Amino acid sequence: MKTDISKLTEPEVAAELQLLAIEIAAHDTRYYQEDAPTVTDAEYDALRRRNQVLETAFPHLVLEDSPSKWVGAAPAAGFGKIEHAVPMLSLGNAFDEDDIREFFARIRRFLNLAEDDQVTLVGEPKIDGLSISLRYEEGKFVQAATRGDGRVGENVTTNARTIEEIPDRLSSDFPAVLEIRGEIYMSHVDFAALNETRKASEAQVFANPRNAAAGSLRQLDPSITAQRPLRFFGYSWGEISEPPADNQWDFLQRLKSWGFPINPETRRCDTPEDIMALHAGIGAKRALLGYDIDGVVYKVDRLDWQNRLGFISRAPRWAIAHKFPAEKALTVLKEIDIQVGRTGALTPVARLEPVTVGGVVVSNATLHNEDYIIERDIHIGDTVTIQRAGDVIPQVLDVIADKRPEDARPYKIPDHCPECDSLAVREVGEAVRRCTAGLICPAQRLERLKHFVSRQALDIDGLGGKHIEAFENDGLIDGPGDIFRLRDHAGVLRGREGWGDKSVDNLLDAIEERRSIGLDRLIYALGIRQVGETTARLLARTYGSYDAWRRAMEQVSLERNNNAEERKNPDLIGDAYAELCNIDTIGMTVADELAGFFNADNVENRRMLDDLGAELNVEDMAPPETTDSTLTGKTVVFTGTLETMTRSEAKVKAESLGAKVSGSVSKKTDYVIVGADAGSKAKKAADFGITVLSEENWQDMIGGAT
């Protein structure tokens, strides 16, 4: 079992969140991009759920390269890319009745609803297929894109046209611009027939219907896709030129009228009891549906409430996926290896006797850290229960003690890095040991290079982790800046096995395209601990340009170094440090990581930044879309209890109008909005001469902020 959260220290939680982010990212790539998952849905969901529980208990430790901050994987090479006008997000997960009741409660809290206000949801089976967005203009089908990483997907328009259930033209009464979102899937009968045909022709068979559907849609030859029995269910919309309906249910009826199939198991539910009954009913007939599902999705029916609830970085607040139980299996733990990550963390990995769980062969499982091994008394040679809860590395649940062989061996995590033999230290309060060598350690240097070109960072077409490893081993690259000097080695590249002139030219052209990179992507690409995609965007938005951000971070480091460690008040450390901590969701933990990265003693980091500065054109962060809003660029702080909306809703509204929401008052704050029982923040605002607004004044302001 996983360690009880109440027994974890903050450093232990931070370490576990980092491990979860790495594992989930790897499996998302295998699932979304390679169509070849190595773990079950149950295992994947267990890791995401653990991540969610930790983040809920320790919101100030959320990593931003956490799974809660991104979705899917970058589009693969071979197809053109399409940027989604409206991001294709994922869903939060529920696993039991308590989660469902909490979902209802969150909706009520956010919307400030009374207990007797009815909250109606629409529930439908969660199809285990490939998400797609279909664009219609004036009723004509013009474009299809896969989800990709949620922001950019693959252009599969030609292939999608071959699917019979996707209409080429819509009937009357359609919006001028309409993006239909849904799922491409393959039925059990068609899947079996396809594999029989492939067996007869001695072709490799597909592992499951989801892989078959994804592989069929992503054929470079559309004639192959046309031969595959792909089907479609519609369930949502993206960009649309007019409101689709007043509620989710009526929108689905419009989908039917336009000729799109919707799932016949879809129902309206008014209470948690209705939801549980629907989940149980669909679960009972799961094997008889004729296609794969892995749960039931619930969406708030009223569209005006959906608009108010809005989104978090990865998922809508108004929808949730109620997953089916995880699948388990017994196997033997044959060995434990150590992997060294980009932050120096030593992660023990279980090597298992291969076992099939939910149709997927599992041979590896993370063991997180040495406490995880000690608490479960895990020995090499033990028979263990593993659980596959999604598309991520499985987790070892427990040891079957009475099956322990006499030659089973206890395991002790090494106190030196297995890659460079430097001392590996477990700091007080932390759950992981870390190699102390920094970028001198070849494993850390290599992992940072892989992170630098990952999907949410530089995302260079044709340059993946395996290529980085090969180029680094051969001495072609040593640091990130060397990637942009690979053209100097074009002759060497052309002589490598598997690299023709065309593939080398494509790679070099893709690298050139990334010489201009957004500030937020560069910050994320640097691989600074605790700085993931969302935090990178916050930093880019706050400081605007690369030069301004770097100057500010160097000042933050200087102020931190010049002040005693025991000081816990950011204002006492320095103005730059306080400004950084005042960014909403960025606290002293993240600020200290940034200060450490920019420490003058970290010569390697400074050299890397100088080198990149000479190779890259770092684009300033674009201003918010609401540039005509009177709140654009303003910093606001909420304090006290609001009556007309919840604090969360107020924050979402302010950010939608271009404002920056801070957690504390500083000299750079523009407005402090005070509710009932406002405390010290209101007094501090008065002392600084900052404009203080009542809730009524705030409502008047945002009502006119257009």
Query: Using one digit for the tens of pLDDT, what is the confidence trace for 507-519?
Result: 999 899 889 999 9
Instruction: Determine the Cα–Cα distance for residues 127 and 239; give it in Å rounded to an integer.
Output: 22
pLDDT at 338: 94
Residue among 686, 650, 604 at smallest CA distance from 438: 604
pLDDT at 208: 82
pLDDT tens digits along 653-685: 887 787 888 777 877 888 988 887 777 777 788
Instruction: Determine the Cα–Cα distance for residues 19 and 15; give it in Å rounded to an integer.
Output: 6
Residues 292 and 147 in one domain: yes
pLDDT at 130: 92
Domain limit, last residue, from 619, 654, 682: 619
Residue in the structure block whose two tokens are 């980091």: 605
CATH at residue 173: 3.30.470.30
pLDDT at 342: 85
Residue among 358, 368, 268, 287 at smallest CA distance from 44: 358
pLDDT at 650: 81
* DSSP label at residue 401: G
Which of 315-329, 427-441, 487-501, 515-529 holds the top average pLDDT?
A: 515-529
Residue among 426, 434, 284 at smallest CA distance from 346: 434
How many other CB atoms are found less than 10 A from the CB of residue 223?
10
Domain limit, last residue, from 312, 340, 371: 312
Residues 177 and 202 in one domain: yes
468 in any annotated domain: no
446 in any annotated domain: no
273 in any annotated domain: yes
CATH at residue 529: 1.10.150.20
CATH at residue 651: 3.40.50.10190
Residues 15 and 37 in one domain: yes
pLDDT at 330: 92
Residues 661 and 531 in one domain: no
Check: CB of residue 314 under 8 Å from CB of residue 67: yes
pLDDT at 73: 44
Helix, coil or strand: residue 324: coil
* 482: confidence class by pLDDT, cuts 50, 70, 90: very high
Kind of pairing between the strands at 516-518 and 617-619: parallel
502 in any annotated domain: no
Check: CB of residue 490 under 8 Å from CB of residue 508: yes
71 in any annotated domain: no
Q: What is the mean pLDDT of residues 24-32?
A: 67
Check: CB of residue 352 under 8 Å from CB of residue 362: yes
Cα distances from 205 to residues 33, 215, 290, 698, in angstroms, run: 19, 11, 19, 61
Positive/negative CA dihedral, 98, 99, 103, 109: positive
How many other CB atoms are found less than 10 A from the CB of residue 377?
12
Element (H, E) at 517: strand 516-518
447 in any annotated domain: no
Residue in the structure block whose two tokens are 């070099």: 508
More confident residue, 650 or 276: 276
pLDDT tens digits along 277-291: 999 999 888 888 999
Kind of pairing between the strands at 319-323 and 293-300: antiparallel
* DSSP string computed for 247-259: BHHHHHHHHHHTT
Residues 161 and 120 in one domain: yes
Nearest 5°: the CA angle 409, 39, 235 is 155
439: tokens are 């970028």
Residue in the structure block whose two tokens are 């000299």: 667
Residues 98 and 142 in one domain: yes
137 in any annotated domain: yes
Kind of pairing between the strands at 130-137 and 140-146: antiparallel
Residues 592 and 655 in one domain: no
Helical axes 10-28 vs 41-57, angle rounded to 10°: 150
Q: Tell me the whole-structure pTM to 2 decimals.
A: 0.58
Q: Tell the burial category of 312 from Cβ atoms under 10 Å away from its Cβ (0-12, 13-18, 19+).
A: middle
- Quickly list H helices, 338-393: 370-375
Domain limit, last residue, from 619, 644, 677: 619
Residue 703 confidence (pLDDT) above 80: no
Backbone phi and psi for residue 75, each to the nearest 5 degrees, phi listed first: -60, 145
Q: Which of 78-92, 185-199, 511-525 has the lowest mean pLDDT?
A: 78-92
Which positions are catalytic?
126
Percentage of residues in the chain with pLDDT exceeding 70? 91
Residues 609 and 535 in one domain: yes
Helical axes 575-582 vs 546-561, angle rounded to 10°: 120
Kind of pairing between the strands at 660-661 and 635-639: parallel
Which of 8-12, 79-83, 250-254, 361-365 holds the top average pLDDT?
A: 250-254
Residues 237 and 386 in one domain: no
Helices (H) and strands (E) counted in the chain, each on its own, are: 26, 26
- Quickly list H helices, 285-327: 303-309
* DSSP string computed for 404-420: --TT-EE----SB-TTT
Helix, coil or strand: residue 462: coil
Residue 234 contacts by C-beta under 8 Å, 6 or more apart in sequence? 180, 181, 182, 252, 255, 260, 261, 262
Q: Tell the burial category of 671 from Cβ atoms under 10 Å away from its Cβ (0-12, 13-18, 19+).
A: buried
Instruction: Determine the Cα–Cα distance for residues 433 and 285; give it in Å rounded to an integer.
Output: 47
* 624: confidence class by pLDDT, cuts 50, 70, 90: low
pLDDT at 2: 65
Residues 358 and 397 in one domain: yes
Q: What is the mean pLDDT of residues 124-130?
A: 93
Side-chain half-sphere CA neighbours of 692 within 13 A: 17
pLDDT at 706: 45
Instruction: Determine the Cα–Cα distance for residues 344 and 161; give it in Å rounded to an integer.
Output: 48
Which of 31-45, 323-337, 399-413 holds the top average pLDDT?
A: 399-413
Residues 119 and 183 in one domain: yes
Q: Which of 57-61, 102-106, 463-467 has the lowest mean pLDDT?
A: 57-61
Q: Provide the residue type at 529 as one letter.
A: R
Q: What is the mean pLDDT of residues 574-596?
A: 85
Count of structural domains, the chain: 4
301 in any annotated domain: yes
How many other CB atoms are found less than 10 A from the CB of residue 115?
6
Residue 63 confidence (pLDDT) above 80: no
Instruction: Determine the Cα–Cα distance for residues 594 and 531; give it in Å rounded to an integer.
Output: 8
Q: Which domain holds residue 133?
A: 81-312
698: tokens are 């705030």
Residues 560 and 607 in one domain: yes
Instruction: Determine the Cα–Cα distance for residues 206 and 111; give it in Å rounded to an integer.
Output: 46
